[in-house]
Amino acid sequence: MREGEANMAASNQPDHPIRSRTGESGTAAKTSAASAFALVFGVAALISVLTVFLSTVGLLLGIIGIVLGIVGLRMARRPGVTGRGVAIGGLVLSVLAVLVALAFAAGITTFLNNEDAVDRLDRRIEDLRDELPR
């Protein structure tokens, strides 16, 4: 390649092809710790809630994840701090986990307050007990 062609090719390229958010000090932006923890708590809450046995733990983790997600969104507004998408992801997963936990709690409460359903369950347990080999 001749020198003139090299200069022409270089002039066609943008001066800064990738712009990253930088803080006042000129260093690369850091992801907010609150955003990262919101995502971790959101995933843990959803997994806990879906196991049903740990739905109360998942509810607690989900509430913590919501708080951290909101804090992460506020921190992402600061210069030199990123993590808005991570905070939104954690917030969505945490809210979903809380809603599923509340739905399970409402379903279990409704079931336990229904005497016919409890009697049917009790009869079924007695039938299964009778079928066990001695």
pLDDT in tens, the chain (134 residues): 555 555 555 555 554 444 445 445 567 778 889 999 999 999 999 999 999 888 899 999 999 999 999 999 999 989 888 999 999 999 999 999 999 999 998 888 887 788 888 888 889 999 998 888 87
Please tell me the total number of residues recorded for the chain in this structure: 134
CA 3 to chain centre: 54
Nearest of 54, 25, 27, 60 to residue 41 by alpha carbon: 60
> Residue 63 has what pLDDT?
96
3-state secondary structure of 81: strand
Residue for token pair 């804090």:
71
Residue with tokens 């979903």: 96
Q: Are 104 and 130 in contact (CB under 8 A)?
A: no
Q: Which of 84, 91, 90 is nearest to 31 (CA)?
A: 84
The string of DSSP codes covering 20-85 is: --B-TTSPBPEE-HHHHHHHHHHHHHHHHHHTSTTHHHHHHHHHHHHHHHHHHHHHTTSTTEE-HH
The pLDDT score that the predictor gives to residue 18 is 47
